[in-house]
Structure 1
Amino acid sequence: MSTVVDLHAAARVADAVKVYGTGETRVRALDHVTVEFPAGRLTAIMGPSGSGKSTLMHCAAGLDTLTAGSAYIGGTELGTLDDRRLTELRRARIGFVFQAFNLVPTLTVRENITLPLDLAGTAPDRAWVDALIDVVGLGDRLRHRPSELSGGQQQRVAVARALAGRPRVVFADEPTGNLDSRSGAEVLGLLRQAVDTMGQAVVMVTHDPTAAGYADEALFLADGRLVDRMRAPTADRVLDRMKALDGAAARPDTAGRRDTTGRPDTVGGAS
């Protein structure tokens, strides 16, 4: 039976459940989460350590599989794809930006930017790549290797690489975690520009309220559940919300989400 999906959403998960381990070590990392990531929007995913925010991103991006529920890129359900087709979809329709940059040290800046296209056997759109290089401000560094760049410059290369194939959605996992405040602001400005000028969908996992302030919406997870969402977030409002979540997680009656029954818990908060 096919499921009706919102084709306007760049990515989405529906009733997503992810369980790790068995028996006494069974942990429910995602507990019936449903959320959409529209085109033309930067969405920040936040929550205390162990809340499930990275698990949500990995499952939405097809880097991990759900225990139950569904994940979609556009109208394609990831659970219906074999490994080869899933790899092809990730190359063609998803961009990634990671905290550790993940650049190939032996390749030049230009070669790193076009690497996903080269792996897919797709000829780069030279005008598009040149436009990205101009946007990230690295036109004078194209022949440099990553070791010859600052951390902020390396992450700008990673952003350009993520956008080079015109993906449907870009997933960014703590993209400013290894950067100083100035370089982090530059990278966040690039992601914001990709949303505003290119209509890109960007999904960013972050623990930083300042980074979340660049988003159109912040989603808050706790114990694997979507418990709140904030439109037009500001750093101060996000910080206050995170303090409340951290306080709740520290209380013995709410901390942890060990699941030894295998039965769904009652879902609280926003969905």
Structure 2
Amino acid sequence: MAQTTAAHSPVAPASPAASAHDLTKVYGVDEAQVRALDGVSVDLQRGEFTAIMGPSGSGKSTLMHCLAALDTPSSGAVAVDGTPLQGLNDTRLTALRREKIGFVFQAFNLIPTLTAQENILLPLDLAGRKPEQTWFDTVVDAVGLRPRLGHRPSELSGGQQQRVACARALVSRPAIVFADEPTGNLDSTSSAEVMAFLRRSVDDFGQTIVMVTHDPVAAAYTDRILFLADGRIVDELRDPDRDTVLERMRRLQPAPVPPPAG
């Protein structure tokens, strides 16, 4: 009797936490037209920490805003956690941002009249969801904020405020967190604390983070850097360190324009 062997179906790879395909974004018309994104395609894999870098005007913030459903591309496709964004109405986009995406901004964006704990839980309150106490405790202890939970933002340092913002971004267990210059308003010590927490959230909690930054020290905490210039991805770096980031950034700076002849 012939022996049969069961066929093993290959395991399909997990879909990216977010992706863009042939993304363009055009502002203005005619002579005033600016092409902020020019055919960008990228997959942002789950459990990775990605930085987006580039010279001023390269399109890095526009790319993040389109990926985070904060702006609408002129053409191309964006998906977050497997959900295509095109065709979603405002209500469904708002729900997707609330349920699938966490945000950390340079300016912290905390509510001044709320305590640190109330600010952290705000996304869940707005969604009508109760926090998972174990996960809340894990996040709070990871950012070292337990003694400060009853304090309002004005009673916290800049670094503590940004750690509140990081905890707020993670407490709902989003598919992806977008961080826009999260260390831009912080001193070097506070920056290191925030970046260490973001790194730990990837390594220990499996979080996916995408960060726009101009800081090579912050970028060195990431797994992958995408370099933009003139609205296009022009380079990529894996396992970066500060010196390599600086060298790549120098390549992207436009050559100085010589002064006109006298």
Q: Same fold (TM over 0.5)?
A: yes
Counterparts of 1:60 and 1:209, CA distance in 2: 22
1:194 to 165, 190, 201: 201
Q: 1:85 to 1:188 in 2, by over 3 A?
A: same
Secondary structure of the equivalent of 1:84?
helix
Separation in 2, partners of 1:148, 1:13: 40
Counterparts of 2:201 and 2:173, CA distance in 1:
11
- Contact residue 17 and residue 33 of structure 1 kept, 8 A: yes
Q: Counterparts of 1:165 and 1:139 in 2: how far apart (Å)?
A: 18
RMSD: 1.4
Q: Where in structure 2 are the equivalents of 1:1-271 lying within 5 Å?
A: 7-248=14-255, 250=256
Normalising by structure 1, report the TM-score.
0.89
Q: Which runs of 5+ in 2 are unaligned?
A: 1-12
Q: Aligned AA for 2:151?
A: H
- Aligned counterparts of 2:209 and 2:87: Cα–Cα separation in 1: 24
Deviation at 1:251, TM superposition (A): 5.9
Contact 2:81 2:100 in 1 (8 A): no
The residue number in structure 1 matching 2:3 is: none
AA aligned to 1:178 is N
2:108 & 2:254 partners in 1: Cα distance?
32
**Aligned pair count?**
247
Any conservation in 1 of the 2:140–2:167 contact (CA below 8 Å)? Answer: yes
* TM-score (ref. length: structure 2): 0.92
Distance in 1, Cα, partners of 2:253 & 2:163: 32
2-structure distance, mates of 1:14, 1:246: 26
Q: 1:171: how far off?
A: 0.1
Cα deviation, 1:204-229, whole Å, max 9, x if unaligned, reads: 00000111100100000000000000
CA contact (8 A) 1:7 1:74 kept: no
Please identify runs of 4+ aligned residues in structure 1 that moved more than 2 A.
none
The amino acid that maps onto 2:253 is D
> For residues 61 and 34 of structure 1, what CA distance do their matches in structure 2 show?
15
Alpha-carbon shift at residue 247 of structure 1 (Å): 3.1
In structure 2, what residue type is equivalent to 1:129?
Answer: F
Once residues 121 and 47 of structure 2 are traced to their aligned partners in structure 1, the CA distance between those partners, rounded to angstroms, is 23
> What secondary structure is seen at the aligned counterpart in 2 of 1:80?
coil
Give the number of the structure whose alpha-carbon radius of gyration is greater. 2
Q: Runs of 5+ in structure 1 lacking a partner?
A: 1-5, 253-271
Identity %: 63
The one-letter code of the counterpart of 2:187 is D
1:7, 1:75 within 8 Å by CA — same for their partners in 2?
Answer: no
1:189 maps to amino acid: A
Q: Which moved more, 1:152-161 or 1:239-248?
A: 239-248
**CA distance in 2 between partners of 1:236 and 1:26 (Å):** 36
